[in-house]
Amino acid sequence: MSIITLSNLNKIYNEGTDIPVHAVNNVDLSFEAGEFSVIKGASGCGKTTLLNLLGGLDTPSSGNIIIDGVEIGKLSASNLTNFRMNNIGFVFQAYNLIPVLTARENVEFIMHLQHKSKKERKERALALLESVGLRDRADVRPGKLSGGQQQRVAVARALASKPKFILADEPTANLDTKATENLLDIMENLNKVEGITFIFASHDDRVIKKAHRLIELEDGKVIG
């Protein structure tokens, strides 16, 4: 059963001007639970825009996004924020960890928002850091972690809220080969063992090779 359905989705920048940009163009897609999908395409083809729409971080110009039976376009800003918190995990290209918090506190952040108990937060955060191989770096701030380590903390953070799926936008773009392989192995393992759904936007061949499903975008349109 599809957990995400996109129908006739459009995102047009500079709408109403002489030079509108069709970043996402009549996209119809669906994603099944447990998928390890990669949206690939050249730079500027609309991968990130599509992922942002999927994550409820941006609003489409037209079309529908239905996640687990909920049409997110109809949610209020406040409800959409709560929906994101409880259903979607994000891994950004630039890691986007909160610099003043330690690795564990970064992972605990969403659980704070979910009003989890201190004990539960701590136990889950440490377990997630363990699963990405950073248990011993739990009390270190992001500034003292390497890029690969920061991105692994970001993965742990994305998993913290027990989301239905994780959106990863170019997660390996700033990582070297070893860190990339390490990160992808962790994600692949989480997908296989725990059945976590991953949707990547990437043009990195190392990511594409791992994909169970490839979606190719060109000028905002799905071409394959």
Partner 1 sequence: MFAVIFGVSMRSMQLGTYDNMIDGAVRQYSGFIQIQDTSYWNDKTIDDLMTDSPELRSKITEIEDVNSVLPRLESFALISSGSKTKGAFLQGIDPMVDTQMTGISDKVVKGKFLEVGDDGFIIGQRLAAFLGINVGDTIVLISQGYHGVTAANIFPIKGIVKIPNPALDKVLLIGDIGTVQEFYGAEGMLTSLVVNIKNKNAIDEIIPQINEIMNDKSLIALSWTDMNKELKQQIESDNGGGIIMLIILYSVVFFGILGTIIMMTAERKKEFAVMVALGMQKKYLSAIVLLETIFLGMIGAVVGALVSSGIVWYFHDSPIHITGEMAGIYEQFGIEPVLMFSTDWTIIQAQFIVVFSLLILAVIYPMIKISTFKIIESMHS
Q: Beta partners for 59?
A: none
On the CB side of 208, how many CA atoms lie within 13 Å of its CA?
A: 11
Which of these ranges, 77-85, 131-139, 181-189, 194-202, lies near partner 1 under the rule CB under 8 A? 77-85
Which one of 7, 14, 62, 82 is in contact with partner 1 (CB under 8 A)?
82
Q: Decide whether 58 or 181 has the Cβ nearer to partner 1.
A: 58
Q: Decide whether 112 or 212 has the Cβ nearer to partner 1.
A: 112
Q: Decide whether 61 or 96 has the Cβ nearer to partner 1.
A: 96
User: In terms of C-beta density within 10 A (0-12 exposed, 13-18 middle, 19 or more buried), how is residue 100 classed?
Assistant: exposed
Q: Give just the sign of the alpha carbon dihedral 14, 20, 23, 26.
A: positive
Q: Should residue 47 be labelled a site residue for partner 1 when binding is judged by CB under 8 A?
A: no
Q: Should residue 81 be labelled a site residue for partner 1 when binding is judged by CB under 8 A?
A: yes
How many chain residues are in contact with partner 1, going by CB under 8 A? 22
The number of angstroms, rounded, from the C-alpha of 126 to the middle of its chain's C-alpha atoms is: 21
- Is residue 39 within 8 A of residue 201, CB to CB? The reply is yes
- Is residue 154 within 8 A of residue 128, CB to CB? The reply is no
Q: Should residue 57 be labelled a site residue for partner 1 when binding is judged by CB under 8 A?
A: yes
| Distance from C-alpha of 66 to C-alpha of 121, rounded to nearest angstrom | 30
Q: Decide whether 59 or 146 has the Cβ nearer to partner 1.
A: 59
Residues 6 or more apart from 172 whose CB is under 8 A from it? 151, 179, 180, 183, 184, 202, 204, 206, 207
| Distance from C-alpha of 148 to C-alpha of 83, rounded to nearest angstrom | 28
| Distance from C-alpha of 207 to C-alpha of 203, rounded to nearest angstrom | 8
Q: Should residue 90 be labelled a site residue for partner 1 when binding is judged by CB under 8 A?
A: yes
Q: Should residue 14 be labelled a site residue for partner 1 when binding is judged by CB under 8 A?
A: no
Which one of 1, 19, 77, 193 is in contact with partner 1 (CB under 8 A)?
77
Residue 14 CB, shortest distance to partner 1, in Å, is: 14
Considering only residues 142 to 171 of the shown chain, the ones binding partner 1 according to CB under 8 A are 157, 161
Q: Should residue 86 be labelled a site residue for partner 1 when binding is judged by CB under 8 A?
A: yes
Considering only residues 97 to 116 of the shown chain, the ones binding partner 1 according to CB under 8 A are 98-99, 109-110, 113-114
Q: Should residue 124 be labelled a site residue for partner 1 when binding is judged by CB under 8 A?
A: no
Q: Decide whether 7 or 82 has the Cβ nearer to partner 1.
A: 82
Choose among 109, 110, 120, 102: nearest CA to 86. Answer: 110
Applying CB under 8 A, which residues contact partner 1? 52, 55, 57-58, 77-78, 81-82, 84-86, 90, 92, 96, 98-99, 109-110, 113-114, 157, 161
